Structure 1
Amino acid sequence: MCDSQIYEALCAELQSTYHCHTAILYGSRARGDCDATSDVDVIAFRHAGGQLRIAAPWNGVFLDLFVHATDDQAEPGWIRIHGGRVLFQQGTFGDQVLARVRSQYDAGPATISTTEIAFRKAWSEKMLRRAGKGDAEGDYRRHWLLFSLLEDYFEVRGLWYLGPKQALRTLANIDTSHSEVFKRALSPCASLEAIQEAVAVTFGCRRFPDHQHRLHDA
């Protein structure tokens, strides 16, 4: 199936099987930077039946679907649908959802306190030490630290973190030297020194101009 056939079949199933009146495609497929491994990320709405979560292979792709009730209030996690596109909608319902998300996005993320930043920095340094143990637990902590660092990098600077693909691309746009630091740290054969450098740049806390919290536009 080509993309247009996938979306056509998905819309039909959302309407006939799940009785959805609105569906919004978001993520890499909405942005146009998807590849063969990219999920089909969709949020949909229906008048009856309540919430539903589906994450499973579907027609040769992986479908990541959130179904909400029409009157569900927007959640903080809905920021991920910023930049999405309406597949079908009742009236202007989908457009209104995206407009509310855009307002949230433009307002920027909540500010993290200096106390919280200091805590995360101390935790990262502790995890780095334990990652050097050379056993399975140390390796686990190494991966745990790397998983957290990229999100921390954005959050301590007051920037939206919208997932690894978009974050890494945005980092390359706003700071090439820090992007290279993360590339080295995320390499499967990275040294502890490379990861230590990523910890250091993460908590250097250099902020970017306010307009750069709009990661979708970076």
Structure 2
Amino acid sequence: MRKLLLLATAAILLAPAARADTSFEATLAGHAILPADSMAQPPADAPQDARSAGKFTGPGNLRTDRPASIPGTTGPAPAGRPTGLALPFTGQAIQGFSGIKPVEGAPGAYWVLTDNGFGNKRNSPDALLMLHRIRPDFRSGQVAVEQTIFLSDPDRRIPFRIAHEGTERRYLTGSDFDPESIQPTADGFWIGEEFGPFLIRLDREGRVQQVIETTIEGRPIRSPD
């Protein structure tokens, strides 16, 4: 029995080393790019404030209404590099993506989730939250945006004040939630976000059905932001 136990232990210890020594050859077969300046037009019933995005990305998060007057950078000075873009944008920036899932029954198509906008609550109150159905073509290198769904809360499921609180459709913004993951379902989507953190259930039109807070031993957890 002892000999059998020693052999079993040795096999367990050797297994990770064997896996580490296994190599898998991979060759890049294609690369598709959605240009960084790709924009989505906000819904017709969205507030006027949503016609442009990035007005609060300047120093002190003070409003800047003049389009393309704030040079874009990869991060704060002195390490940040120029991006070649400038804010505020006319329209809503489709990138960047924080989640991706294949579209069931549609080979080659994907659901992608746009992140909260520009990084935090203070600079993203005019960035509408949305998800998209895209189709990358790895031969041509292009990405087609087939559908955009804007997140909203017309049924007032969210228990706290949101940026567009006083509007009828109550479109959600990057100062309300920070979406980080997406899971399509038969009747809609589940979104994981990190400001709460919360789990958010949406219908197929992007309307909030449920907001679930994260708890440990019955006590809610809250992000520092």
- TM-score for the superposition, normalised by structure 1: 0.24
TM-score by length of structure 2 reads 0.23
- Structure with more helix by fraction: 1
The answer to which structure has the higher strand fraction is: 2
